[in-house]
Amino acid sequence: MAARTKNDDKKLFDTFYNTISLIGAFIAILTFALILFLMFMEWLSPRSVPYLGVLTYIVLPVFLIMGLVLIPIGMWREHRRRVRGLGKQVLPKLDLNDPKHRRSTVVFLGATAIFLFFTGLGTYRAYEFTDSVTFCGQICHKVMEPEYTTYQISPHARVKCVECHVGPGATWFVRSKLSGAYQVYATIFNTYDRPIPTPIRNLRPAQETCEQCHWPAKFYGNRQSLKIHYLNDEQNTRWKINLLVKIGGGTPESGYTSGIHWHMNIAHKIEYVALDEKRQIIPWVRMTDRDGNVKIFKSIENGFDDVALDTLEIRRMDCIDCHNRPSHQFKKPQIALNILLETGKIDPSLPYIKATAMEAVDAAAEAESLEEAFQIIESGIREFYAEDYPELLEQKGELIEQAIQEVKEMYRRNFFPEMRANWKAYPENIGHLTAPGCYRCHDGLHQTEEGEIIRNDCNACHLIIEQGDGKTVYQADLRGLEFKHPVDIEEAWKDTGCYECHGE
């Protein structure tokens, strides 16, 4: 020890031996070891573990830096002490020849090792937890309730939230985590938006999430899409529409090519600009085909001015532009009720049950709370039967009661009054019945200078192979049928988009 005081350099280093610097060094070494351990775990892990990165690259480095900062602070204080002539801080001496010291050292080292082990394990478990569906869907229950509820009944109920929302790799979780940190703040201080605005700005590009599991080169063929509707009349007439959707895909290298996915994602690059936040009004579309030929389609309806292009984002179309609701589908009651009637949860022999239920749900659409909505639904349906079918209320009271329960349950899955989330707040872009969807571009009004339009004949995307109620109307043809509207609206469907009557 005496040797050290001989020259100034060593004196400086000597000041390291003080409590604050030693604690700083201990923290720094501990966190550094943990960081290495987690990096190793991440490297070993067969699956991507998105949230681990938050810990490894954001939380722990903060502690590492804190530890490192403590070292010079302690040294500076020690230096000041000495300048003021207070002499060295005396540190406890360790003498391994002393059995007492030896025992304490062993105990200390052993305890540290155990502590390190469990900290490592604990950190890993904590990180696994933040990665889980429980964390994303249930911790901030009220905020995520609409998405969590709809997720559980979606085709992706077994896909973790983070696999679509964060994805693997460091940069995206840093980006989504920074916005995540803001969301935690917004939740605690109750400043979040209701409903949560979409499209999500910092959602990872679909190529890196959806395409981990589905890739457009895979051949999809045609997909049968059977729609059963119950109409608004006394008999709740069952009306069937059987579609063959030309979803297609593929690459010439791997087999057949055809259909929606081939045209949209592989043969063509399609870019567009939208005038609104929700990307529902699209006045300008640019298509570049595989050979590099470019076509620009402009909507003759919006009278779009090219000058505005400089100020708007040109977005390349990807999966999310059509599949914006792969996991969180808020159904229009008209459609959701069809399923309940078809599966017998609501008895279709009850006169006017479809129309009555729809009216009751519409009346409850703006309710402030679930309880209020339930009350409106319950009294709406019950009062209708009490007034128009009093004898039925006695004979089939139980069926009516069951219908009321099912309608409430349907409401609970599709309307979230507190978050103001429902089918109107989150339009679905697949199809064109309840929202413009494909018709944002395929409305027959988007033209090139030469007058070429984006295809919009009814057979471009699907064939109707069967339709009707099976009694007065029934048509079937594998070559495709002309659409017949279930109720008489004359030819209105030919020049009016379906969504203009069926949408919001």
Residue 265 is a binding residue for ligand HEC (CB under 6 A): yes
**Interface stretch with ligand HEC, choices 20-28, 119-127, 219-227, 375-383 (CB under 6 A):** 219-227
Which residue reads 């700005």 in tokens? 201
Return d(Cα 125, Cα 45) in angstroms, integer: 13
Closest CA to 295 of 267, 321, 256: 267
**Interface stretch with ligand HEC, choices 26-34, 94-102, 264-272, 387-395 (CB under 6 A):** 264-272
Among residues 89, 105, 187, 212, which is the contact residue for ligand HEC, using CB under 6 A? 212
Name residues contacting ligand HEC, limited to 425-444 (CB under 6 A).
426, 430-433, 437-438, 440-442
Residue 331 is a binding residue for ligand HEC (CB under 6 A): no
Return d(Cα 108, Cα 46) in angstroms, integer: 36
Residue 194 is a binding residue for ligand HEC (CB under 6 A): no
Residue 231 is a binding residue for ligand HEC (CB under 6 A): yes
User: In b/e form, how buried is each residue of 8-46, taking b as 16+ CB within 10 angstroms?
Assistant: eeeeeebbebbebbeebbebbebbbebbebbeebbeeee
**Interface stretch with ligand HEC, choices 91-99, 184-192, 207-215, 404-412 (CB under 6 A):** 207-215
Residue 315 is a binding residue for ligand HEC (CB under 6 A): no
Residue 245 is a binding residue for ligand HEC (CB under 6 A): yes
Query: Which tokens hold the place of 104?
Result: 């304490």
Which of 59, 438 has the CB closer to ligand HEC? 438
Residue 223 is a binding residue for ligand HEC (CB under 6 A): yes
Residue 270 is a binding residue for ligand HEC (CB under 6 A): yes
Return d(Cα 267, Cα 460) in angstroms, integer: 16
Return d(Cα 338, Cα 434) in angstroms, integer: 15
Minimum gap (Å) between residue 52 Cβ and ligand HEC: 17
Which of 206, 400 has the CB closer to ligand HEC? 206
**Interface stretch with ligand HEC, choices 73-81, 145-153, 377-385, 393-401 (CB under 6 A):** 145-153
Residue 136 is a binding residue for ligand HEC (CB under 6 A): yes
**Interface stretch with ligand HEC, choices 39-47, 280-288, 375-383, 404-412 (CB under 6 A):** 280-288
* Contacts of residue 450, Cβ cutoff 8 Å, sequence gap at least 6: none
Whether 463 contacts 446, CB under 8 Å:
no
Whether 388 contacts 381, CB under 8 Å:
no
Closest CA to 359 of 343, 337, 391, 341: 337
Residue 399 is a binding residue for ligand HEC (CB under 6 A): no
Pattern 47-76, binding to ligand HEC, x per CB under 6 A?
Answer: ------------------------------
Minimum gap (Å) between residue 503 Cβ and ligand HEC: 10
Residue 240 is a binding residue for ligand HEC (CB under 6 A): no
The total of other beta-carbon atoms located within 10 Å of residue 380's CB is 19
Which of 64, 377 has the CB closer to ligand HEC? 377
Among residues 28, 70, 260, 353, which is the contact residue for ligand HEC, using CB under 6 A? 260
Closest CA to 48 of 229, 224, 137, 170: 170
Whether 225 contacts 245, CB under 8 Å:
yes
* Contacts of residue 21, Cβ cutoff 8 Å, sequence gap at least 6: 15, 70, 71, 72, 73, 74, 75, 78
Residues constituting the chain: 504
Which of 109, 184 has the CB closer to ligand HEC? 184
**Interface stretch with ligand HEC, choices 44-52, 55-63, 468-476, 481-489 (CB under 6 A):** 481-489
**Interface stretch with ligand HEC, choices 47-55, 112-120, 326-334, 399-407 (CB under 6 A):** 326-334
Give CA torsion, residues 188, 194, 199, 204, to 10 deg. Answer: 20
Residue 216 is a binding residue for ligand HEC (CB under 6 A): yes
Which residue reads 């406890």 in tokens? 92
Among residues 37, 51, 124, 148, which is the contact residue for ligand HEC, using CB under 6 A? 148
Among residues 60, 164, 273, 341, which is the contact residue for ligand HEC, using CB under 6 A? 164
Minimum gap (Å) between residue 446 Cβ and ligand HEC: 7
> How far is Cα of residue 286 from the mean position of the Cα atoms in its chain?
27
Residue 327 is a binding residue for ligand HEC (CB under 6 A): yes
